[in-house]
């Protein structure tokens, strides 16, 4: 296995494990919809369930079809990540790390969707009465991984060189 494979799989597996362990821990120490202040006025620990997706979109009870759509969408996203990884050039470690974080987060939330038909969220950031929607470690990994990829692609990714293009033309 190439080193880049480990760079994709190890962080992703770590994210999945930390995400699932943290969700189990939260469900054991906090009742559903209970709030435990961690940093007064900024951060609470909560236990909420999200049947939908980001920001509570599609978060409705009694509509099982949405679970299947979100599971299918997540599997599609995972397939795209694996395809993208397979197409990366050797040494594209920055992109691999971003893909790994997104992959780990997607799998972490996918496990919840398959097991529970909903995702457990427990981090509640707020300033005064203005709350960011509750989220979890998988959501954080997806966000950080997406930002990492964007920065990497915008600022650190190099366009193919003229010599490289000529070599590709010679392969035909």
12-71 residue pLDDT tens: 999 999 999 999 999 999 999 999 999 988 999 999 998 766 545 555 556 666 778 889
Within-domain flag for 166? no
**Number of compact structural domains in the chain:** 1
Domain ranges, residue 134: 3-154
- List 19, 112, 124, 139, catalytic entry: 139
Asked whether the predicted pLDDT for residue 126 surpasses 60, the reply is yes
pTM for the full predicted model: 0.82
Within-domain flag for 162? no
Within-domain flag for 163? no
Angle made by CA atoms 116, 73, 5, in degrees to the nearest 5:
95
Phi, psi angles (nearest 5°) of residue 102: -65, -45
Within-domain flag for 169? no
User: What single-letter DSSP state applies at residue 118?
Assistant: S
- List 19, 112, 121, 124, catalytic entry: 121
Within-domain flag for 148? yes
Task: Determine whether 121 is an active site residue.
Answer: yes
Within-domain flag for 164? no
């Amino acid at each position: 296995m190439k080193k880049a494979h480990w760079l994709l799989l190890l962080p992703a597996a770590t994210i999945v494990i930390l995400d699932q362990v943290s969700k189990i821990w939260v469900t054991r120490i906090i009742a559903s919809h209970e709030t435990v202040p961690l940093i007064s006025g900024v951060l609470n620990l909560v236990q909420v369930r999200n049947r939908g997706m980001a920001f509570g979109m599609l978060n409705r009870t009694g509509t099982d079809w949405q679970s299947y759509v979100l599971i299918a969408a997540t599997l599609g996203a995972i397939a795209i990540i694996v395809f993208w990884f397979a197409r990366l050039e050797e040494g594209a470690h920055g992109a691999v790390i971003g893909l790994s974080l997104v992959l780990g987060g997607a799998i972490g939330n996918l496990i919840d969707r398959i097991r529970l038909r909903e995702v457990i969220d427990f981090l509640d950031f707020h300033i005064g009465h203005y709350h960011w929607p509750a989220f979890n470690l998988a959501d954080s990994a997806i966000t950080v991984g997406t930002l990492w990829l964007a920065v990497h692609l915008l600022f650190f990714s190099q366009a193919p060189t003229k010599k490289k293009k000529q070599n590709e033309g010679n392969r035909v």
